[in-house]
Structure 1
C-alpha cells in the first residue's frame, strides 16, 4: 500500500494555524507541494514564514473562501504555481455556541456558511478542475483526486449549546457521502474525519478561561487526554494517498474513544 504524497499537489484550507497548519506542514514533509489557504492573512504569513520562493513546495493564499471568486482565485493560483491539483483538504472550520431557544440566534446561518457551504462549494469547484486535468493528461483509468473534509464528533452527538455546529457538521458528513457517490465515476474519492477534542490555539484559549474543562474533557475521553493536531495528520495522509484508492464516502472518527460513550464534554470540545 502506497501512502506516498511525493509529487502530489494539495490545497489545505484553514492552514494558518491549528489542525490545518499541522496537516499542511505534514504534507510538505512527505514530499507534497502545498497551497496553504486561510482568511487570516497575518497568521498565514507567519505559517509560510517566507518559504514561498519559486522552487519551494509551499505557497500561500489569503482570502475569504466563503466567496466564489476567492475560491476560483485559489484554484487558479494553485495551478499557476504547481500546474495541477491532486488533493483538497477542507480543514477550515469554526465553532459558535447557540441559544437553542432563541429564534433570533444567527449561529446556524453562520455555521452553515463557514463549516458546510464553503467546503462543499470548494469541493465542487476543485473536482471540476481535477476532471478537466485528467482529461488533458489522458488519464483514463488512474486515480484523479482525493478530497478530505474535517468534521466533528458533534455531528453524531446531541448538545443543545452546539445546535448550529452539530447541524453543520452532520450536513457536511452527508455532503461528503453524497459527493463520494457523485464523483466515484470520475475516480475522485471523498472522505471525512470526525474529530473530538484537539489541542489547538482556540482550545488552549478556552481552557485558560475555563480551567475546569480540561478535567471534564479528559474524564469523558476513554484514552484520558486531549489529542495533539499532529495525531490527525497521518489519517489525513492515508485518505489522501493512492493507497486508500478503494476508500470513499467514509467518515473516520478520531476521538480517543469518546464516541463509544453516551456523554458529552465541555461545550464545543
Structure 2
C-alpha cells in the first residue's frame, strides 16, 4: 500500500484479534509499529511476530481510559521513531449483557470509559503529534452496534454509536490540516471478544451469525487490512467515512 513504508503507527488493542492483525500488516508494509494494550504479554507476542518478519515494533502498556497513559503512548511513538503518522484506535471491551433498565452502573461507566472516552483520549493526544509532522491518518473501531441496536448491550451500543460521531467531527475539524479520520464497523469477527460473547449470550450470538448473509464469521485480518488501507495514500480522498465490514448484516 502506498505511503506506509517508513511511517510510524500506533495500534491500540494490539495484543490480540483485530488489533494484532492490523499491527502485523503495518509491519509487513514497512511501518514502525507501537503496540499498545493492557495485555502486555499479548502485545509482546505481536511485537515478536513483527520483528521475526523483519519489521520494527515497540510495546507500550496502555489503559486507553487513563489520560496519562495515553499521553505516554503517543510520547513513546514520537520519542522512539521521530513522528506519528497513523493511529488505529481499536481497543475495546464488550461489557456485561443486561437490559437498559437493569444495567449495572459500574459496567456502563467501564464500557464508556474504554470504548468511547478511550477513542477521544487517543485522538486528543494523537492529533497534535500528527500536526507537528504535517498530517496523518486515524482509524477508529466502531461496530455494527454503532449502526443498529443489539438488545441488552446498551453501553456497548451507545459507545460505538459515539465513536462514529467523534470520527465525523474530527474529520471535519482536521481534514484541512492534513489529517484524515475514518471509522470501521466490523460485524461478527472471529476474535476473543466474540468468543466471550458466545459464552455469555450464546442465543444472541448464534442469531447474529445466522443473520449474516455471507454465511460465516469475519476474520481479524480482513478488518486489519481495511484499517491499514484507510491509513494509506490509496485512501487519500476518504475522510469522515464509516467502512462497514460485516458480511452484509446491516444491508438487510
TM-score (norm 1): 0.86
CA distance in 1, matches of 2:108, 2:239: 28
User: What is residue 76 of structure 1 aligned with on the other side?
Assistant: 75
Shift of the alpha carbon at 1:255? 0.5
CA distance in 2, matches of 1:23, 1:220: 26
Shift of the alpha carbon at 1:226? 0.4
Shift of the alpha carbon at 1:50? 8.3
User: What is residue 137 of structure 1 aligned with on the other side?
Assistant: none
User: What is residue 234 of structure 1 aligned with on the other side?
Assistant: 225
Shift of the alpha carbon at 1:158? 1.8
* Aligned pair partner of 2:215 in 198, 217, 224: 224
Shift of the alpha carbon at 1:88? 0.6
CA displacement, residues 46-82 of structure 1 (integer Å, 9 cap, x when unaligned): 33238669x9511111132211111121111111211
More helix by share: 2
Mapping 1:34-73, distance limit 5 Å: 34-49=33-48, 57-73=56-72
Q: Is the 8 A contact 1:11 1:37 kept in 2?
A: yes
* Matching of residue 124 in structure 1 with residue 124 in structure 2: yes
Q: Is the 8 A contact 1:99 1:105 kept in 2?
A: no
CA displacement, residues 161-203 of structure 1 (integer Å, 9 cap, x when unaligned): 1111111111110000000011112110000001110000232
CA displacement, residues 76-105 of structure 1 (integer Å, 9 cap, x when unaligned): 111121111100100101111233112653
CA displacement, residues 227-261 of structure 1 (integer Å, 9 cap, x when unaligned): 01011122112210122111100001000000012
State which structure, 1 or 2, has the greater radius of gyration over its C-alpha atoms: 1
Cα RMSD (Å) = 2.2
TM-score (norm 2): 0.91
CA distance in 2, matches of 1:117, 1:208: 27
Q: Is the 8 A contact 2:188 2:209 kept in 1?
A: no
List alignment gaps of at least 5 residues for structure 2.
none
List alignment gaps of at least 5 residues for structure 1.
135-143, 262-269
User: What is residue 258 of structure 1 aligned with on the other side?
Assistant: 249
Give the number of equivalent residue pairs. Answer: 250
